[in-house]
Amino acid sequence: MEIFIYGFINSISLALIALGFALVYGISRIPNFAHGALYVVCGFITWSFVRSLELNYPLSIILAMISTGIIGGLIYLFILIRVRGMAISEIIASYAIGLAILEGLRWRGFKGMTYTLPTFKEGSLMLAGTPVDYHRLIVVGVGVCIVAFLWIFTHHTKVGLGLRAMAQDERAALMLGIDSDRMAVVAMGFGSMLAGLAAVLLLPLGNIVVEAGYNVLLLAIAVCIVGGLGSWVGAVMAAFLIGFAQILTVVYIGPHFQMVVALLAIILTLILRPSGLFGRQKELEERV
Amino acid sequence: MKRKPLLMVFALILGAALFFPLQSAFAEKPIVIGCPLSTAFVYGWDAQRAITLAVEEINGKGGVNVGGEKTPFKVEVIDTRDLEPGVPVSEALLVVEKLILEKNADFIMGGPVRSEAALAAMDLLSKYKEVSILTTGVLTPKYHARVAANYDKYKYCFRITGEAKWMVGGEIIPCLLEIGKEYGLNRLFIMIQDVAHARAGGGIIAKVMAKKGWHVIGQPEVYPTGSSDFSMGLLKARREKADVILIWMDMPQTSILLKQWYDMKIAALPFGSIIAAAEQPGFWKATEGKGEYCLANVVNAGNAPSNATPWTMKFVEAYKKRWGLEPEGYGTSSSYMAPYVLKEAIERAGSLDSEKVVAALEKTDMVGVYGRIRFDPKSHQVIPSLDPEKGAVGTIFQWQAGRRVVVFPKSIAMGKIKLPPWMRK
Amino acid sequence: MMAQTRRKERLDRGIRVRTDGLYALMSWRELSYLTLPRVVLIFGVLALPFVMPSMYWQRVISIVCIYSFLAISFDLLAHFVGLVSLGGAFFVGVGSYLAAILNTSLGLPVALTIPISTVLGATICTALLLPCLPLRGVYFAIVTLMYPLALARVIEALNILGGTDGIMGVASFPSRWVEQYFMIGALLLFLFAIRRLVNLDLGLVLRAVKDNDQAVRASGMNVTFYKAIAVFIASAMGCLAGASLVHIYMWAGISQFALDFSILPIAATVIGGAGTLTGPLLGCFILVPISELLRAFGTLRIVFYSLILVGFIVFRSEGIMVYAQRKYHQFERWVKV
Amino acid sequence: MTREPILEVKELTKAFGGIMALHRVSFNVYEGEIVGIIGPNGSGKTTLINCITGFIKLSSGKVLFRGKDITGKAAHKIADMGITRTFQIMRPYYTLPAYKNLVIPLFSPRARRTGGWRGGGKLGDRNTVGIDILEEIGFERDSFVPYKLASTLPTGYLKRLELARCLALRPEIIFCDEVFSGLSMSEIASMVPLIERLQMDGITLVMIEHRLRELFRVANRVMVLNFGEKLMEGSAEEIMASEEVKEAYFGSEEVEEVMSHA
């Protein structure tokens, strides 16, 4: 029973981490390697709002997410827009930006282990014999709402449909009058806000550390590739797959294989089925 | 008239390379202490602060008289980044070399913080015959074992901080037994990080405690560096009704573990043989009190307020005055002592020559912040003991109501070990 | 109006006008014009160890050579074969572990361990990368980025090869000079070998694989086989770098798989000028010393060279070497009319 | 033409997801003949070639070459056996000069074995053999053209370059995918004798074309594909007379125009 509950929690947190990355790649075909950096930046911004400016917690969360979204949008506007289309320069440019942000934070003094965020609600309750603390339940609740919201947003709102159109075929969307660059900025901003949301939800469980940026990027890439780059539905499914796989390895094989699972998932998926569970990568399937 | 862009570019590089190093050679001749520390991490910057504090105090009192002539210490700290994942150890070794060759450091102090980097640096230090005192980070018993095994090659390497074997045998196990006797606990659950010294330490504790009649639950749970989910381990501890959870992790994610332990109200006492997150004074505010009742070992006394020797409280006050907070990580008091030990050895040796200083260091015998400092002549490891008069004393403290109360060894204890309320049998 | 007695004449006018691309050298002046950059490069690099002020900077030269090997191997794969591999660290790691094992357990001398671990490492890396050769673009990049991390985690989890402590007490180079001149010699050897290879028939096939692999497949050649050859050559250079790194620092551990070995060579290639093979070498000779000079600033160093990297990529400057080549062909001199 | 067929295709089907691109197409090709394949756009002509030459995995059916089953073999193995193809969208190596474009096929194992076109490959260096082949198919020898970058060549020359790439392997069968399309009348006029000379050199040609007048002049037999199914097979005259073909091409003036002139 415990495996199911904590497997579910682990999967939802993986889904939250990966959604931002999947959304950005799905819409604007940009692999946003600065995802981990945005996650950590949002954590430290929230910390400075809460701890040094003493704003109340929900307000500082919203402000932090908005500012992370703006940072994401600016990264696209000033940097990634010039390298659109050249896949490898995108990776290198976005990774270098992420590296610059992370090491800049560390140099600015955000080091050590004393940076933490208060949890939403103290205490825990017994759920079918296993103690689960309220904060984790809130995380699961918010996670499920986000997935539902994304479903509604992309299927029933104008902007959402515009984003999906661009995901399918950018040139066709351009022809129909959807300004792909503006959409890409929206996508990047939205993706960064999702990264910020994941940060705000998951960081109170532990402390805010710059190294988390690298781990988060790794997990996001693992989930998105297994789920098929570009389809956020695939990403959610893959999050559950890897989430439970990690918990099962911890219980049955041994906790020290936990990190290996995510990495092997990437390598095996790319070799066996590069387009992942739901992806349909045009350039990989037969095209002559 | 021919302009050769290629030549110009080469000239630019050579010029830059030439200009920088020459400039530092002309300063007047102090004794240079090179400190390769990972300044982005608590073990790095606390050692840096302690060494700077000690050097300022020594220079304040006129510096070191080398054969009658007063010369001040000069500290050169360079960030080795060796505690960061993804950074090659060769970076740390490059820093050690830069200190020795370019900054012409006479002595290396603090030493690379990560065990592998320190072990690798031993070969470099012996190559350049550079005396080095290791004060923080490195716990692995392999360090002084290599000095003993190959004395004339590695005789320049000293370590003034405690090491894992004594820490486990001499401090952690007696403390566990004490807790067991006092509260009738005997079910031990071990969670360690996937690092060589943690695996070794965890293994020894499991074996010895089993022999001492404790019931050790399963194999030690090994968590890779950077893993952020401990729920399964904690649930297993709860299911198996563990009394004490031994934690040997120096990664920041341990605070996730402690917060989850508190939320789950698990009836077990967290005993941090090495728990970096819980050592710092800021830990209490960071976890809003969720870290209460957690025991943490800070290897040497003085890192938590206690009165092992008259000097201990003086050091704690001086540190608080200079840096605004109590001593932090377990490298603080040992890094503070190192300049003093070096000063005393240099004055006895009367010169900066490595051979003479090594001989003088081997005969060191002074009462320091954490007890009597003496080096084992064969392995250059500081001689530990439970009594401040006889040797270097370790400290295990418990977080009680916002303060770090030293609970072990008895000779310097400031309070008794308390159990969390939800654990009353 | 006074008749103009002098006019500007392009230096390479004599050479270029005769044939398109195939140089016919008619005089010493033209011969020196063509060979000067190469001569400057060779003697400049060879003279470096003498010019360096302190022993520390000589060690930096060896580190520069290591990064240059990786930069050239990245440039070969990315520009000439179309396989963008972010896994420089993978080659270095495999090479260094092999050299350490050969040296410590089998007791082979340095002169033997480096060649053996280069060839053996290259076979192992190619074999491990074989399944992902059919991948293209972003996918190949991500897989190669993951390989070193996965291997480091596996070694850490299984606690093999010395686990997290790594292998110690590896023999070092006999002397500093041997170390430097071996590195510089091997570097120049590989640089000119690769420049020759690229124009050979095999090099043409590799460039064709990048240009249009379907056409190569239609002419009856197994594309994966030729990609494997390219990866073998690139990983040989990476393993050579890894092996020599081990012998410089007498230690091998999982941090040899660090990301720095993947990122810095790419930065050097982008700055130096992709596709010219000497460009990445120049990039390393600029980036690594500067990052050493900045070492006192701690992590600001990484912020510094990642911002340079972004700047060069975003403003898409073609890199110093390409610019230098273009300018070098436009030199003029005053000539009597 | 009662000899043993060089290539037999039996019940070849290929479905992309739900769409049935090819539905049980079977036909034979005999040594030394030119077979034309015509059909309206999207009737599966290019997919047929891709399946036979192994560029796409076929859903079901068999392909026999001189009696040996080559279904599903890798594209480079099939090409190595002598079944070469040109691409509808030309695929030269744009960054290399024209004669260097031929160095790559001459580097292939088949070219080394058979010595390439006219047997020159084994002996001389590949550049000169490349220039010989280019001259064979219409690149003026001592002009600038063979040395120009492929990216600067006009379409006519690029189409010939595709053919040259196949010739470099001394092929037994060449699948020409719309070799005439996109060429001016004069270029086609100079291309037809080239095709005829290839036939005289004993190479079997399977040509997919839309320009029916040139195809009918050259092809011995023609097959009509419509919506992935084989409509008819027969000589050029039978095709022109048949009603179904007219329906398939209903309204396409070309057939009318050809009919009136034939």
Instruction: Answer for the pair B303, B329: CB distance below 8 angstroms, yes or no.
Output: yes
pLDDT value for B2: 44
**Given an 8 Å threshold on Cβ–Cβ distance, is B286 in contact with A6?**
no
Instruction: Answer for the pair C332, A122: CB distance below 8 angstroms, yes or no.
Output: no
pLDDT one-digit tens code per residue, D184-198? 888 888 888 888 888
Token couple for B269: 């006492």
CB atoms within 10 A of CB D241: 13
% helix, strand, coil for chain D, step of 5: 40, 25, 35
Nearest Cβ partner for A79 among C138, C150, C310: C310
Which residues of chain A have a CB within 8 Å of the CB of C295?
none
| DSSP helix/strand/coil, B77 | strand
Angle (CA) B319-B323-B324 rounded to 5° is 100
Which residue of chain C has the CA closest to A91?
C138
Interhelix angle C55-75/B5-24, nearest 10 degrees: 140
ipTM field: 0.81
Smallest CA–CA separation between C287 and chain A, in Å? Answer: 15
**Given an 8 Å threshold on Cβ–Cβ distance, is B41 in contact with A130?**
no
Q: Is the pLDDT of residue B342 over 80?
A: yes
* Letter string b/e over residues B216-232, b meaning 16 or more CB atoms within 10 A of that residue's CB: bbeebbbbbbbbbbbbb
Q: What does the alpha-carbon distance between residue B335 and residue B342 come to, in Å, rounded to a whole number?
A: 11
What residue spans define the domains of chain A? 2-109+132-272
**CATH number (domain holding residue C177):** 1.10.3470
pLDDT value for D258: 62
Q: What does the alpha-carbon distance between residue C177 and residue C156 come to, in Å, rounded to a whole number?
A: 35
**Given an 8 Å threshold on Cβ–Cβ distance, is A288 in contact with D50?**
yes
Domain-located, residue D200: no
Q: Is the bond preceding B409 in cis, omega lying within 30 degrees of 0?
A: yes
Domain-located, residue C204: yes
H or E stretch at B348: helix B332-349
Smallest CA–CA separation between A221 and chain C, in Å? Answer: 8
**Given an 8 Å threshold on Cβ–Cβ distance, is C54 in contact with B196?**
no
Tell me which of A227-236, B337-346, B380-389, C2-11 is least confident: C2-11
**Given an 8 Å threshold on Cβ–Cβ distance, is C314 in contact with A95?**
no
Query: What's the rounded mean pLDDT across residues B91-102?
Result: 83
Which residue of chain C has the CA closest to A30?
C138
Number of domains observed in the structure of chain D: 2
Domain-located, residue C223: yes
Looking at the fold, whether D63 and D106 belong to one and the same domain comes out as no
In CATH terms, the superfamily for domain B165-298+395-423 is Response regulator (3.40.50.2300)
Looking at the fold, whether D90 and D57 belong to one and the same domain comes out as no
pLDDT value for C118: 93
Domain-located, residue C22: no
**Given an 8 Å threshold on Cβ–Cβ distance, is A251 in contact with B194?**
no
pLDDT value for C22: 53
**Given an 8 Å threshold on Cβ–Cβ distance, is B280 in contact with A113?**
yes
State which of B96-110, B355-369, C222-236 shows the largest mean pLDDT. Answer: C222-236
Which residue of chain B has the CA closest to C50?
B14
Let me know if B290 is exposed, middle or buried by CB neighbors in 10 A (0-12, 13-18, 19+): buried
Count how many residues are written for chain A. 288
Domain-located, residue D191: no
In total, the C-beta contacts within 8 angstroms joining chain A to chain D are 9
pLDDT value for D1: 43
Strand partners, B269: B244
pLDDT one-digit tens code per residue, B9-55? 555 555 555 544 444 433 357 888 888 888 877 788 888 888 888 88
Nearest Cβ partner for C306 among A96, A107, A266: A96
Token couple for B127: 């190559």
Strand runs labelled E in B276-381? 295-297, 365-368, 371-374
DSSP 8-state code for residue B265: T
Backbone angles phi, psi at A33, to 5 degrees: -75, 0
Domain-located, residue C282: yes
Smallest CA–CA separation between D76 and chain C, in Å? Answer: 4
Looking at the fold, whether D95 and D47 belong to one and the same domain comes out as no
Better pLDDT: C327 or B192: B192
Smallest CA–CA separation between A278 and chain D, in Å? Answer: 15
Residues of D with CB under 8 A from a CB of A: 46, 50, 55-57, 87
Domain-located, residue C67: yes
Identical topology for domains B28-162+308-374 and B165-298+395-423:
yes
Amino acid at C60: V
Which domain does C205 fall in, by range? 56-321
Pick from B229, B216, B128, B147: nearest CA to B176: B216
Residue B424 CB partners (closer than 8 Å, separation 6+):
none
Nearest Cβ partner for B282 among A114, A205, A260: A114
Pick from B417, B407, B423: nearest CA to B242: B423
Residue C43 CB partners (closer than 8 Å, separation 6+):
none
Which domain does D226 fall in, by range? 1-72+177-182+205-262
Token couple for D234: 């027969």
Domain-located, residue D188: no
Residue A286 at interface with chain D, using a CB cutoff of 8 Å = yes
Instruction: Answer for the pair A120, A50: CB distance below 8 angstroms, yes or no.
Output: no
Domain-located, residue C133: yes
Nearest Cβ partner for A91 among C141, C149, C214: C141
Tell me which of A84-98, C162-176, C178-192, C283-297 is least confident: C162-176
Q: Are there at least 3 beta-carbon pairs closer than 8 Å between A and D?
A: yes
Which residues of chain B have a CB within 8 Å of the CB of C326?
none
The residue of D49, D56, D58 whose CB has the most chain A CBs within 10 angstroms, and thus the best one to mutate to test that interface, is D56
Token couple for C281: 């070498």
Domain-located, residue C43: no
Domain-located, residue C13: no
Domain-located, residue D199: no
Which residue of chain A has the CA closest to B279?
A113
Residue B150 CB partners (closer than 8 Å, separation 6+):
none
Instruction: Answer for the pair C79, B44: CB distance below 8 angstroms, yes or no.
Output: no
Smallest CA–CA separation between D99 and chain C, in Å? Answer: 12
Q: What does the alpha-carbon distance between residue D109 and residue C47 come to, in Å, rounded to a whole number?
A: 45
DSSP 8-state code for residue A139: H
H or E stretch at B273: strand B269-275
Q: What does the alpha-carbon distance between residue B345 and residue B366 come to, in Å, rounded to a whole number?
A: 10
Residue A5 — very low, low, confident or very high, per pLDDT cuts 50/70/90?
confident
Which pTM value belongs to this model? 0.84
Instruction: Answer for the pair A239, A15: CB distance below 8 angstroms, yes or no.
Output: yes
Amino acid at A18: A
Query: What's the rounded mean pLDDT across residues A103-128?
Result: 78
Which residue of chain D has the CA closest to A286?
D56
All partners of chain C with 3 or more CB pairs under 8 angstroms: A, B, D
All partners of chain B with 3 or more CB pairs under 8 angstroms: A, C
Smallest CA–CA separation between C198 and chain D, in Å? Answer: 12
Q: Is the pLDDT of residue A66 over 90?
A: yes
Pick from D110, D109, D78, D71: nearest CA to D174: D78
Amino acid at C70: L
Pick from C188, C182, C184, C223: nearest CA to C206: C223
Which residues of chain D have a CB within 8 Å of the CB of A288?
46, 50, 55-56, 87
State the residue for tokens 């293994």. B203
**Given an 8 Å threshold on Cβ–Cβ distance, is A87 in contact with C137?**
yes
Q: Is the pLDDT of residue B337 over 60?
A: yes
Q: Is the pLDDT of residue B85 over 70?
A: no
Which of these CATH numbers, 1.10.3470, 1.10.357, 1.10.10, 3.40.50, describes A2-109+132-272?
A: 1.10.3470
Strand partners, C7: C335
User: What is the CATH topology of the domain spanning B28-162+308-374?
Assistant: Rossmann fold (3.40.50)
The residue of B231, B249, B274, B284 whose CB has the most chain A CBs within 10 angstroms, and thus the best one to mutate to test that interface, is B231
**Given an 8 Å threshold on Cβ–Cβ distance, is C164 in contact with B17?**
no
Count how many residues are written for chain C. 337
Which residues of chain D have a CB within 8 Å of the CB of C20?
144, 147
Q: Is the pLDDT of residue A283 over 90?
A: no
**Given an 8 Å threshold on Cβ–Cβ distance, is A284 in contact with C136?**
yes
Better pLDDT: D10 or A170: D10
pLDDT value for A162: 78
Angle (CA) A59-B254-B82 rounded to 5° is 105
| DSSP helix/strand/coil, A104 | helix
Q: For chain B, what percent of residues have pLDDT higher than 90?
A: 0
Looking at the fold, whether D41 and D93 belong to one and the same domain comes out as no
Which residue of chain A has the CA closest to C86?
A92
pLDDT value for A286: 46
Residue C1 — very low, low, confident or very high, per pLDDT cuts 50/70/90?
very low
Tell me which of A237-241, B162-166, D101-105, D201-205 is least confident: B162-166
The residue of B4, B12, B82, B89 whose CB has the most chain C CBs within 10 angstroms, and thus the best one to mutate to test that interface, is B89
Tens digit of each residue's pLDDT, chain D (262 residues) = 457 788 899 999 888 877 888 888 898 898 888 999 888 888 888 888 888 988 888 888 999 998 899 988 888 999 988 899 998 888 888 888 888 888 888 888 888 887 666 655 455 678 888 888 888 888 877 777 888 888 888 888 888 888 888 888 888 999 998 888 888 888 888 888 888 888 888 889 999 988 888 888 888 888 888 888 888 888 888 887 777 777 766 544 555 566 666 5
Amino acid at C3: A
Which residue of chain A has the CA closest to C312?
A93
* The dihedral sign for the CA sequence C165, C171, C175, C180: negative
In total, the C-beta contacts within 8 angstroms joining chain B to chain C are 135
State which of B26-30, B99-103, C297-301 shows the largest mean pLDDT. Answer: B99-103
Smallest CA–CA separation between A34 and chain B, in Å? Answer: 17
3-state secondary structure chain C: CCCCCEEEEECCHHHHHHCCCCCCCCCHHHHHHHHHHHHHHHHHHHHHHHHCCCHHHHHHHHHHHHHHHHHHHHHHHHHHCCCCCCCHHHHHHHHHHHHHHHHHCCCCCHHHHHHHHHHHHHHHHHHHHHHHCCCCHHHHHHHHHHHHHHHHHHHHHHCCCCCCCCEECCCCCCCHHHHHHHHHHHHHHHHHHHHHHHHCHHHHHHHHHHHCHHHHHHCCCCHHHHHHHHHHHHHHHHHHHHHHHHHHHCEECHHHHCCHHHHHHHHHHHHHCCCCCHHHHHHHHHHHHHHHHHHHHCCHHHHHHHHHHHHHHHCCCCCHHHHHHHHHCCCEEEEEC
| DSSP helix/strand/coil, D203 | coil
The residue of C33, C41, C56, C292 whose CB has the most chain B CBs within 10 angstroms, and thus the best one to mutate to test that interface, is C56
Instruction: Answer for the pair C200, C208: CB distance below 8 angstroms, yes or no.
Output: no
pLDDT value for C13: 67
Q: For chain B, what percent of residues have pLDDT higher than 70?
A: 92
**CATH number (domain holding residue D157):** 3.40.50.300
State the residue for tokens 């294989």. A257
Q: What does the alpha-carbon distance between residue C265 and residue D248 come to, in Å, rounded to a whole number?
A: 60
Number of domains observed in the structure of chain C: 1
pLDDT value for C123: 95
DSSP 8-state code for residue D31: T
Looking at the fold, whether D105 and D56 belong to one and the same domain comes out as no
What residue spans define the domains of chain B? 28-162+308-374, 165-298+395-423
Which residues of chain C have a CB within 8 Å of the CB of A91?
86, 138, 141-142
Q: Is the pLDDT of residue A83 over 70?
A: yes
**Given an 8 Å threshold on Cβ–Cβ distance, is A83 in contact with C314?**
yes
Domain-located, residue D195: no
Q: What does the alpha-carbon distance between residue C191 and residue C281 come to, in Å, rounded to a whole number?
A: 9
Token couple for B251: 């990664």
Which residues of chain D have a CB within 8 Å of the CB of A282?
none
Let me know if B297 is exposed, middle or buried by CB neighbors in 10 A (0-12, 13-18, 19+): buried
Smallest CA–CA separation between B261 and chain A, in Å? Answer: 10
Query: What's the rounded mean pLDDT across residues B207-234?
Result: 83
Query: What's the rounded mean pLDDT across residues C18-29?
Result: 59
Exposure of B227 in the CB half-sphere (CA atoms within 13 A): 33
Instruction: Answer for the pair A244, A11: CB distance below 8 angstroms, yes or no.
Output: yes
Looking at the fold, whether D55 and D100 belong to one and the same domain comes out as no
